Amino acid sequence: MPHDAARKVVWAERLVPASPDRIFDLLADPARHGSFDGSGSVVAARPGAPARLSLGATFGMDMRIGLPYRMTNTVVEFDEASRIGWRHLGGHVWRYVLSPVAGGTMVREEFDYSTNRAPLLLALMRAIPNNERSIERTLDNLARHFGADS
């Protein structure tokens, strides 16, 4: 799992056998995030979440890591069928970058903690190694969703 400590980004890539448009449609639908989340923490989109994300959109999610909690995210990066990223109160960004390649799309998921507001909390929660594992599982889930063997 690549981890660029200087840039404070954890990331992984996976070939997904689908077009960037199809993958982006899934990523831009907060009601479907639980279907591919590899962390096991995404429960469901909160009522009032938009049907499709766009730049500046906010959406709430019901989450669970041990105990249930709610998280509100804001879309801070949005380039149709190419890039989508959101940030929450903690300041870090979850980002997906899609690149068309032979056989489908190279999907890169990144956990960018360069703008994190609570580094001590990240350390206490073991967020970096936990997110490394979660990213790998998320990419596996996306590949399975679109028909690839894992």
Tell me the pLDDT of the chain averaged across its residues. Answer: 93
- pLDDT recorded at residue 148: 61
Of the candidates 2, 71, 4, which has an alpha carbon nearest to the alpha carbon of residue 33?
A: 71
Q: Given this model, what pLDDT does residue 2 score?
A: 66
115 contact partners, CB below 8 Å, separation of at least 6: 87, 91, 92, 93
The residue among 53, 117, 50 whose CA lies nearest residue 86 is 53
Confidence band of 43 (pLDDT split at 50, 70, 90):
very high
pLDDT digits (tens, 9 = 90+) for 108-146: 999 999 999 888 888 888 888 999 999 999 999 999 999
- The residue extents of the domains of the chain are 3-145
CB 91 within 8 A of CB 67: no
Which pLDDT belongs to residue 4?
66
CATH class of 3-145: alpha beta
Per-residue pLDDT, 121: 85
Predicted confidence (pLDDT) per residue in 80-118, tens digit: 999 999 999 899 999 999 999 999 999 999 999 999 988
Distance between CA atoms of 119 and 127, rounded to whole angstroms? 10
- Give the Cα-Cα-Cα angle 103, 108, 110 (nearest 5 degrees): 170
pLDDT (average), residues 42-71: 96
pLDDT of residue 150: 43
Instruction: Count Cβ neighbours within 10 Å for each residue of 16-30 and write b for 16 or more, e otherwise.
Output: bebebebbbebbbbb
Q: Alpha carbon 146 to chain centroid distance?
A: 17
